[in-house]
Structure 1
């Protein structure tokens, strides 16, 4: 059976989402009942993006707080899209589209966190907003094909942004 381009997109998004879900589930530490305090995030290897060497630890701490919220929204969006829960997908996409952005570096701000990030990061940040808005629109219309395609394009942007961040592209 030959898959059409739209069905191929839907299948690709489904496979990517399932893989992400399985990876996230496997990477989560088992919860045990213990009287010992849980280890600090810095002590445990938590699933997530690796820390790039070019950003100092204090700046990574600030980024980590923002990205934890972003990651939660991305997981909720993945489930909402994959399970065709339109209201959940729309709300998560709208949160991603409206989350505060990092501003591009300004003259004299060479020591700011923003000056450490590559220019491509800012371009992709803007692109993610536009693509998240498209996901929200498709979810609102309950257009499964547009939802899958727009979500796939958003995930492409996510991967490109993570790559730009890690490899300072």
Structure 2
């Protein structure tokens, strides 16, 4: 049987799944049946660590813009996690629903000429390009999940993840 196409999307999906399962299993309490000692209190995270889970706040954005983006990205992050599990575990209905929510999220509009006071002016143009690309790729994931096409699901999900990583890079580094 001849294989064509790249194996990169499959590798990305596999790595993401493995990382998620390792993180989830590390977070589970021991199952020894013995009561465990109370956990030590967690140190309070610095304010910047709460900006976006796992994604530091970029210096170039004003606080008002970071606050607006944080709300949007928190919802987006929950959908992305659900999508990852839906795709990885071939839960087509879960994957399709999460992909559809990502595709239909309200998008940030590009700043209009003369709108130098808008918060969106601080974001680089590439951010808006990737936002549009993510929408199209999420639609492709939803379509593949709706057809129960495992190969197309893995490939479209891999492409969506590439867009996500690129967008996060642009957000952090203002490329």
Q: TM-score range by the shorter chain?
A: 0.7 to 0.9
Please, which of 51, 61, 65 is the counterpart of residue 57 of structure 2? 51
User: 1:144 deviation in Å?
Assistant: 0.1
Mapped partners of 1:113, 1:20: distance in 2: 35
Deviations 1:125-166 (A, max 9, x none): 000000000000000000000000000000000001111111
Q: Kindly tell me: are residues 52 and 24 of structure 1, through their superposed partners in 2, closer, same or farther at Cα, counting changes over 3 Å?
A: farther
SS at match of 2:117: coil
What residue ranges of structure 2 are gaps of 5+ in the alignment? 30-37
Tell me which residue corresponds to 1:16.
15
TM-score w.r.t. the length of structure 1 is 0.83
Determine if contact 1:10/1:145 at 8 Å carries over to the other structure: no
Task: Report the secondary structure of 1:81's partner residue.
Answer: helix
**Structure 1 match to 2:70:** 64
Q: Report the counterpart of residue 42 of structure 1 in structure 2.
A: 47
Q: Is contact 1:125-1:161 (8 Å) kept?
A: yes
SS at match of 2:107: coil
SS in 2 for 1:138: helix
Tell which structure's C-alpha radius of gyration is larger. 2
What RMSD in Å do the two structures reach over aligned CA positions?
Answer: 3.0
* Structure 1 runs not aligned, ≥5 long: none
The answer as to whether partners of 1:24 and 1:47 remain within 8 angstroms in 2 is no
* Corresponding residue number in structure 2 for 1:133: 139
Bigger shift: residues 70-79 or 56-65: 56-65
Q: Secondary structure at the match of 2:155?
A: helix
Q: TM-score, normalization: structure 2?
A: 0.80
Give me the whole-angstrom Cα distance separating, in 1, the residues matched to 2:73 and 2:49.
17
Write out the 4+ residue segments of structure 1 that deviate beyond 6 Å after TM superposition.
Answer: none
